[in-house]
């Protein structure tokens, strides 16, 4: 079975059909730059464009970089505030004429890692943390997702953790890998103290360069890069769509 996965990110909106059993894209992904400003109307147009590009007629899963409860987008740390309170799932379903599920981006990445990636068959408390524009989190307990955990907004040194330790913070402040790794380590030690996970998986675009910083991060908990890297969002979104009627 296949479903279409669409990943809404700060700079690009990416989509592709996914083979759900293998967790692999079946066609090259399409990436369209995120409209500026990224408001509900303009982003919906891009979602429709991706559906049309693949001439897709089946279930669609879409990620959103904020809290999503029952299809309603409830926070907007790194996107336009006009998303708050919108029934985004119904809006996308109406615009595409297809069954749609909308879920948090890190939760989607986590679902993919749990099904076919680094978290596969890992029992206990497993955390998938994505480092990009913000820091996203997906918390699993014996393979079950606890959605919308928002651990990127823990407070470290009086600041939102993602403002200090996201990949965006590294790039915009031109931090060296060593300096950034110190911040990531401080953040992860805090997370470790609160959750005592048995495994931490690092996702997001920066997971491709994990050899530059992961060896510098000292924790009690085993810590590994995500297997699906930047495709995890698309794959996880499609997997969530598989449950649609
Ligand atoms: C948002 C999360 C999101 C993360 C990664 C945070 O700012 O609050 O919902 O998962 O960024 O995009």
**Lowest mean pLDDT segment, chosen from 75-79, 174-178, 194-198:** 75-79
Question: In CATH terms, are 2-107+232-242 and 121-227 the same topology?
Answer: yes
- Token pair for residue 213? 């910083």
Yes or no: say if 132 and 175 are a contact pair by the CB < 8 Å rule.
no
Ligand 1 pocket, residue 110 CB under 6 Å: no
Q: In whole angstroms, give the CA distance from residue 101 to residue 26.
A: 20
> What is the pLDDT confidence band of residue 78, given thresholds at 50, 70 and 90?
confident
Yes or no: say if 168 and 133 are a contact pair by the CB < 8 Å rule.
yes
Q: In whole angstroms, give the CA distance from residue 129 to residue 151.
A: 8
Yes or no: say if 87 and 47 are a contact pair by the CB < 8 Å rule.
no
What pLDDT shows up at residue 122? 95
pLDDT at 10 over 90: no
State the chain's mean pLDDT as an integer.
Answer: 96
pLDDT at 92 over 90: yes
- Give me the CATH code for the 2-107+232-242 domain, please: 3.30.420.40
In sequence order, the β-bridge partners of residue 224 are 201
Yes or no: say if 24 and 79 are a contact pair by the CB < 8 Å rule.
no
- Token pair for residue 162? 């993602």
What pLDDT shows up at residue 113? 97
Q: Each residue of 190-243: pLDDT tens digit?
A: 999 999 999 999 999 899 999 999 999 999 999 999 999 889 999 999 999 998
Cα of 19 from ligand 1 centre, angstroms:
26
Ligand 1 pocket, residue 167 CB under 6 Å: no
Ligand 1 pocket, residue 65 CB under 6 Å: yes
Nearest to 69 by CA among 114, 29, 107, 125: 107
- Give me the CATH code for the 121-227 domain, please: 3.30.420.40
Whether the upstream peptide bond of residue 48 has omega within 30° of 0, thus cis, is: no
pLDDT at 11 over 90: no
> What is the pLDDT confidence band of residue 245, given thresholds at 50, 70 and 90?
confident
Q: Give the nearest ligand 1 atom to 107 CA.
A: 10
Domain spans of the chain, in order of start: 2-107+232-242, 121-227
* Most ligand 1 atoms within 8 A of CB, residue of 74, 106, 236 to mutate: 106
Cα of 168 from ligand 1 centre, angstroms:
12
What pLDDT shows up at residue 77? 87
User: Where do runs of H (alpha helix) occur along 54-204?
Assistant: 88-96, 105-116, 161-165, 167-172, 177-195
To 10 degrees, the CA torsion angle through 233, 237, 240, 242?
-130
């Amino acid at each position: 079975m296949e479903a279409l996965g669409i990943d809404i990110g700060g700079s690009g909106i990416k989509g592709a059909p996914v083979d759900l059993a293998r967790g692999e894209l079946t066609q090259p992904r399409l990436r369209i730059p995120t409209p500026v400003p990224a408001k509900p109307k303009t982003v919906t147009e891009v979602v429709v464009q991706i559906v049309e590009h693949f001439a897709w007629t089946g279930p669609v899963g879409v990620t959103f970089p904020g809290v999503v409860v029952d299809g309603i987008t409830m926070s907007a740390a790194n996107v336009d505030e006009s998303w708050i309170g919108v029934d985004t799932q119904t809006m996308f379903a109406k615009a595409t004429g297809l069954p749609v599920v909308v879920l948090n981006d890190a939760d989607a990445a986590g679902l993919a890692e749990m099904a076919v990636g680094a978290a596969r068959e890992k029992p206990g408390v497993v955390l998938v943390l994505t480092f990009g524009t913000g820091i996203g989190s997906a918390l699993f307990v014996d393979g079950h997702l606890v959605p919308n955990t928002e651990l990127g907004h823990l407070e470290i040194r009086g600041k939102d953790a993602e403002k200090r330790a996201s990949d965006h913070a590294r790039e915009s402040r031109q931090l060296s890998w060593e300096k950034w790794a110190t911040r990531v380590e401080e953040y992860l030690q805090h997370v470790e103290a609160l959750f005592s996970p048995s495994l931490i998986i690092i996702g997001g675009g920066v997971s491709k360069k994990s050899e530059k910083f992961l060896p510098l991060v000292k924790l009690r908990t085993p810590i590994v890069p995500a297997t699906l890297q930047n495709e995890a969002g698309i794959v996880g979104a499609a997997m969530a769509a598989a449950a649609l009627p």
